[in-house]
Amino acid sequence: SLVDTDNVKPLDGVKILDLTRVLAGPFATMNLGDLGAEVIKVERPGAGDDTRSWGPPFVGSESTYFLSVNRNKKSIAVNIKDPKGVQIIRKLAAVCDVFVENYVPGKLLEMGLGYEDISQVAPHIVYCSITGYGQTGPLSDRAGYDAVASAVSGLMHITGPEDGDPVRPGVAMTDLATGLYSYGAIMAGLLQRYKTGRGLHIDCNLLSSQVACLTQVAVNYLIGGKEAKRWGTAHGSIVPYQAFRTKDGYLVVGAGNEQQFVTICKILNLPTLINDSRYKTNYLRVQNRRELITTLSARFAEEMTGTWLCLFEGSGIPYGPINSMREVFAEPQVCCIEPLDTICNVQSVPWNQWQYIGNFPCLLRGPVHSA
């Protein structure tokens, strides 16, 4: 449970009309549903959300991709190209608090379902548009997919091996970031409506969300004039901070300050590095990255990952192995923080229960009162 007081959730009683599909929008509305909102997902008759057919893998007839971001939702099929379907959506919007859509700008407006149209029947509505590139500008009429927005935003330019090609991140980080920005904006919109009594139009898009997530890489360029590059698992401004190959896997280790670097050298039994003038500060370690990493890499390769885990235990150094999915969900700490939930399945599939990544990564706990 997200809240341990009387099983009350923050968004109990809030109704969401969800006209989104694929990932960014469904991820946003799923998070709202996890907080107690009633989410009504509107899909195309006969086809549904595009991701229903994205696979394998499937569980029975259900795509695991679709299942990953569509829990806690009610689904209805409405043909919004039909005037009767438009009227159904308008009637639903009138009794909902939030309207979320991810159509190309102008598409819903043509159908009579734009913000101005919906606000006429629901002046209280928090209307969130999620697009690829925003409502205006030369790219605004393009469809938006995660990988393309990741490329245009520069994320793929900085992702991948130092001497290799750009790489798409292993999960759709641009979509997920946009979903989280949208979720936060909707929560803020509900709070603003509480204060003003009026609805509003929220504009979220993949490109802006990912550019915002460039953080220090963007500022390095905008203020420092430094073009970004790919570093593999390493960090452009911190050394050491990367994955090192061991005898049987990889270990990621980071030294964010001088004391941590000294501790790492002691654990690796490389005391000469501690007083080496080339490595006295992080700035110097960055300047002499190649020589230092060569020495550290050779030492890490001498032992098994498990040996290093034991040696680093209790040291205060940030460290950890690179885990497979099997290892992730067998990791004791992952099990301890309870990220998995089991839900009942109402479809005709081989299992009557499914496991999901848990309802919400941040637990909301009420105050503890003594009797």
Mean pLDDT, consecutive 10-residue stretches, the chain (371 aa), reads 65 98 97 96 95 92 91 95 98 98 96 97 97 95 95 98 96 97 98 96 97 96 96 97 98 98 98 97 98 99 98 98 94 79 52 54 50 40
pLDDT of residue 370: 40
Provide the phi-psi class of 338: left if phi over 0, else alpha when psi is between -120 and 50, else beta.
left
Q: What is the pLDDT of residue 348?
A: 45
For CA atoms 46, 50, 56, 58, the dihedral sign is negative
| Maximal CA-CA distance, the chain | 78
Quick one: three-class SS letters along 202-232?
Answer: EEEEHHHHHHHCCHHHHHHHHCCCCCCCCCC
Could you tell me the domains of the chain?
15-215 (3.40.50.10540), 241-322 (3.30.1540.10)
The pLDDT of residue 362: 56
Cis peptide before 56 (omega within 30 of 0): yes
CB atoms within 10 A of CB 207: 23
**How is residue 48 written in tokens?**
């549904």
Catalytic residue from among 18, 49, 97, 175:
175
Question: Using CA atoms, how far apart are residues 355 and 81, in angstroms rounded to an integer?
Answer: 36
**Which residue's structure tokens are 């909902």?**
96
pLDDT at 371: 40
Phi and psi at 333, nearest 5°, equal -70, -35
Query: Do 263 and 315 meet the contact criterion of CB atoms below 8 Å apart?
Result: yes
Q: Among 233, 251, 247, which Cα is nearest to 309's?
A: 251
- Is position 175 annotated as part of the catalytic site? yes
Buried b (16+ CB within 10 A) or exposed e, 244-268: bebeebbbebbbeeeebbbbbbebb
Q: Which residues contact 336 (CB under 8 A, 6 or more apart)?
A: none
Collapse the DSSP code of 39 into the 3-class scheme (helix H, G, I; strand E, B; otherwise coil) and give the result: strand
Q: How many CB atoms lie within 10 A of CB 11?
A: 22
